[in-house]
Amino acid sequence: MKKNPYKVLGIKEGASYDEIKRAYRELAKKYHPDRYQNNPLADLAEEKMREINEAYDTVMKNAGGNYQYRPDYEQSYDNSNASKGTYGQQYQQQQQSSSQSKSGYNYQHQYANESDLENRARMYINSGNLNEAQKILDRMKNRNAAWHYLQGLVFLRRGWYDRGYTNIQKAANMDPANFEYRNALNNLNQQYTGYRQNNYYRNSYNSSPDMCNLCINLWCADSLCECLGGDLIGCC
C-alpha cells in the first residue's frame, strides 16, 4: 500500500509551495545519505529518502503549476548517488579483473598483490561483510594511509568510533593530499557538531542568553555609541 504523500512530508493538503519545499528540505536533511555513511542502517535511510522524493513529486504535481526540480538537496543527493555509481563501477571492474585473474593466473598469485587485497577489502566493506574485510586487512603487511582508512571504515561500521576516528585521522595525516580521507574525517567531525547543535538543543534554555550576556551586550552597545559621540545609557 502506498503511503499518503502528504503524511510522508508531514504537511496538510493544500499546503503552499513554500511549505512543501520547507518540509521537504527538513526531511531531506534528516535522511540525507551523507549522514548515514558508515551506518548499518544506510539502506533504510535510502529507502526513506526515495519515499520522500516520490511524495514530493506527487505533492508538487497535485499542487499544479510549473515545477521542474527539487530544491538544493535533490542535486547533492543525486551526486552522492553518482559517487555510489562509481563505487559500483569499481566493484564491477574488480569483479571482472578478479575473474580474469582467476582464469589467467593461479589463485595464489592474485593474493600476493597488496593493492588487490586493498580492493577486495573495500569491496567487502561496501557490501557490509565486515568480518571478511577485517580478515583481509589483517593479512595486509603494508600499513599505509589506505590501510588505516579502510581499517577506520571497518571500525566505524562496527560502532567502534574511538578507533575508527583514530585510524581515519592517521590516514588523513599520512596522506594529506587525499580527498577521500580528508572528506571522511570532515564527515566525522560534522556528525559530532551536527548532533550537538541540533535545533531542539539550540533553542532550549541551555544555550539561550543569560543575564550576564545581556549586561555585557548592553555595555558593548553603550561603548560603541559613545565612540561615535552618542550615548545609549546616560548614567555610565
Partner 1 sequence: MFGYVEPDKPELKIREFDVFRGYYCSLCKTLGRNYGQVSRLTLNYDLAFLYVLLDSMSSLPINGKRQRCIAHPFKKRFVVFPNVFAEYSSDMNIILMYYNLEDKWSDEKNILGGTGALALKRAFKKTKKRHTEKCTAIENHLKALSDLEKQECDSIDEVAEEFGAIMREVFECKHIEDENDRKTLGWMGYNLGRWIYILDAYDDIEKDMKHNSYNPLVKQYDFKGDDISSFKETIREKVDFSLTYSLSEVEKAYSLLGVEKNKGILDNILYSGLIVKTDKVLHERGIKNEKESL
Give the footprint of partner 1 on this chain (CB under 8 A).
Answer: 30-31, 35-36, 39-41, 44-45, 48, 155, 158-163, 165, 188, 191-192, 194-196, 198-201, 204-206
Beta carbon of residue 204, minimum distance to partner 1 (angstroms, whole number): 5
How far is residue 10's CA from residue 3's CA, in Å, rounded to a whole number?
Answer: 12
In angstroms, what is the C-alpha Rg of the chain?
26
User: CB-wise, 95 or 207, nearer to partner 1?
Assistant: 207
Smallest separation, CB 165 to partner 1 (Å): 6
From the CB of 169, what's the least distance to partner 1, in Å? 10
Cell numbers standing for residue 15? 499546503
- Closer residue to partner 1 (CB): 52 or 146: 52
Q: Which is nearer to partner 1, 109 or 202 (CB)?
A: 202
Q: Give the C-alpha distances (Å, rounded to integers) separating 195 from 64, 161, 190, 192.
A: 37, 15, 8, 6
Contact 233, 222 (CB under 8 A): yes
Neighbours of 134 (CB within 10 A): 18
- Smallest distance from the beta carbon of 48 to partner 1, in angstroms? 7
